[in-house]
Amino acid sequence: MSAKRDLKFYLTFFVSALVLAAVVSFYASSSPDGLEKVAGDIGFSKNAKDSANSDFALSNYGVAGIENERFSGGIAGAIGVVATGAVASMLFLVLRRKKNE
């Protein structure tokens, strides 16, 4: 593949991931996940404590300060995709440089 085709390929998948995280996440179920459901059914969820990171800006799958839960989740998903893409790109560049040396 040429560099131009590679870039187009990666950008297509990056934009697709961004759309899925930001838009499709609006339609995710708001029901509790399996562990939360079992904890509620058995009754040990009342003993749960907040995480040490519960006051972090992106805790609980949302962005602190945004009242609309779906919009908050979409923004958090988009931030996650961008952060993951940035870290992965940096790692790929470092590994590629070492391989070429």
What ranges do the domains of the chain cover?
3-100
- Residue 49's contacts (CB-CB under 8 Å, 6 or more residues apart) are none
Tens-digit pLDDT profile for residues 52-93: 877 888 887 888 888 888 888 899 999 999 999 999 989 988
Percent of the chain with pLDDT over 90: 27
- DSSP state for residue 63 in the 8-state scheme: -
CA distance 94 to 100: 10
Q: Which residue has the tokens 């939360």?
A: 36
pTM for this prediction: 0.71
Q: What token pair was written down for 78?
A: 């988009």
CA distance 42 to 7: 51
The mean pLDDT value of the chain amounts to 84
Q: What are residue 18's phi and psi, to 5 degrees?
A: -65, -45
